[in-house]
């Protein structure tokens, strides 16, 4: 069968994914290689060259969305290709694929359980709320992305130490807390996952070190671009679950976006539908039977801004 016939018979989401993989690869290639070369030659005015980083930052939802599809096995038909392409995309974005995949699947299984509520503080009214607020805003303003760069360092310490650190960080609050804590600790101590995490992290480190070398005196452009990409990842992470009660369907919300933005977000704004039907490819979410009408959904970008309202306090299992 020739290549055109393969494309004709490929599911629509696979065709779309292949096209978006090319977009993500071009964006990353420009940020890592093209832009620093342009800045260090006389052929591009520096201001104009820096402006070209904007589309790269705007492509971050696509880059993450492709990794997300890979986590759910919907990126490419071949299981091996799905795994390796998603892992390669994660390395380029600086994300520890095994940890992100495990954490995301646990998030689906235990949505809004105590460990999965960054917007909720369980401290009593008599105790200081300063630290929870500082931690929340730090996480929201790019701290989550920074943490994802740091987490792989646990793969370089003894497995027992890594498991203890993770268990303490996750905690055991709530009815399923001990089970969640045990699963995370087991993941942190798994020898094969630790080996892959060390390899992937060193590849990410080498890639960004090479990019910094290419940028030379223009290195702040790369750092700012990375922070902006990390800012989006951090803001978007808990957005569909912010102040969502445990009795809401899927413990998540759908949002309304302007025409065309759904493709840029890879329909991540339809997060409730994704939680209710996690095996659906991203392009099918808009046609899901349970999807609410657009008018009934709050605006995506307004909801993103609402997150800066801060943490809420609870002493029960409700948010």
Percent of the chain residues topping a pLDDT of 70: 91
pLDDT in tens, 227-244: 999 999 999 999 999 999
How confident is the prediction for the chain on average, in pLDDT? 90
Please tell me the predicted confidence (pLDDT) of residue 6: 41
pLDDT in tens, 246-301: 888 889 999 999 999 999 999 999 999 999 999 999 999 988 765 555 557 899 99
d(CA 126, CA 39) in angstroms, rounded, equals 54
183-197 b/e with 16+ CB inside 10 Å = b?
A: bbbebbbbeebbebb
Helix axes 60-71, 219-237, angle to 10 degrees: 50
Please, which pLDDT band fits residue 53 given cuts at 50, 70 and 90?
very high
pLDDT in tens, 153-164: 999 999 999 999
Question: Residue 235's CB: how many other CB atoms inside 10 A?
Answer: 18
Whether 310 shows a pLDDT value over 80: the answer reads: yes
Helix, strand, coil percentages for the chain (3-state, nearest 5)? 70, 5, 25
Q: Are 252 and 272 in contact (CB under 8 A)?
A: yes
Please, which pLDDT band fits residue 1 given cuts at 50, 70 and 90?
very low
Percent of the chain residues topping a pLDDT of 90: 76
Task: Choose among 238, 221, 246, 98: nearest CA to 162.
Answer: 98
d(CA 232, CA 93) in angstroms, rounded, equals 12
Please, which pLDDT band fits residue 317 given cuts at 50, 70 and 90?
very low
Length of the chain: 319
d(CA 109, CA 71) in angstroms, rounded, equals 14
Q: Are 92 and 109 in contact (CB under 8 A)?
A: no
């Amino acid at each position: 069968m020739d290549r055109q016939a393969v494309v004709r018979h490929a599911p629509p989401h696979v065709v779309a994914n292949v096209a978006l993989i090319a977009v993500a690869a071009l964006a990353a290639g420009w940020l890592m290689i093209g832009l620093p070369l342009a800045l260090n030659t006389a052929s591009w005015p520096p201001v104009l060259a820096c402006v070209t980083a904007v589309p790269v930052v705007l492509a971050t939802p696509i880059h993450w969305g492709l990794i997300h599809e890979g986590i759910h096995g919907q990126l490419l038909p071949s299981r091996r290709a799905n795994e390796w392409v998603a892992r390669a995309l994660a390395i380029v974005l600086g994300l520890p694929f095994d940890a992100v995949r495990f954490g995301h699947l646990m998030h689906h299984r235990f949505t809004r359980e105590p460990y999965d509520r960054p917007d909720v503080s369980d401290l009593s009214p008599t105790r200081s709320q300063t630290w929870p607020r500082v931690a929340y805003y730090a996480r929201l303003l790019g701290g989550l992305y920074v943490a994802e760069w740091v987490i792989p360092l646990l793969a370089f310490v003894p497995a027992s130490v890594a498991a203890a650190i993770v268990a303490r960080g996750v905690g055991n609050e709530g009815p399923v807390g001990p089970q969640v804590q045990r699963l995370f600790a087991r993941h942190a101590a798994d020898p094969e996952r630790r080996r892959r995490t060390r390899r992937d992290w060193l590849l990410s480190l080498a890639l960004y070190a090479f990019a910094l070398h290419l940028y030379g005196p223009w290195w702040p452009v790369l750092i700012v671009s990375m922070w902006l990409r990390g800012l989006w990842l951090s803001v978007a992470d808990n957005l569909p679950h912010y102040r969502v009660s445990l009795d809401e369907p899927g413990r998540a919300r759908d949002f309304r976006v302007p025409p065309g933005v759904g493709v840029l977000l890879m329909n991540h704004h339809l997060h409730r539908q994704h939680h209710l039907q996690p095996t659906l490819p991203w392009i099918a979410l808009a046609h899901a039977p349970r999807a609410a009408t657009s008018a009934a959904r709050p605006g995506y970008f307004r909801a993103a801004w609402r997150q800066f309202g801060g943490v809420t306090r609870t002493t029960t299992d409700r948010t």
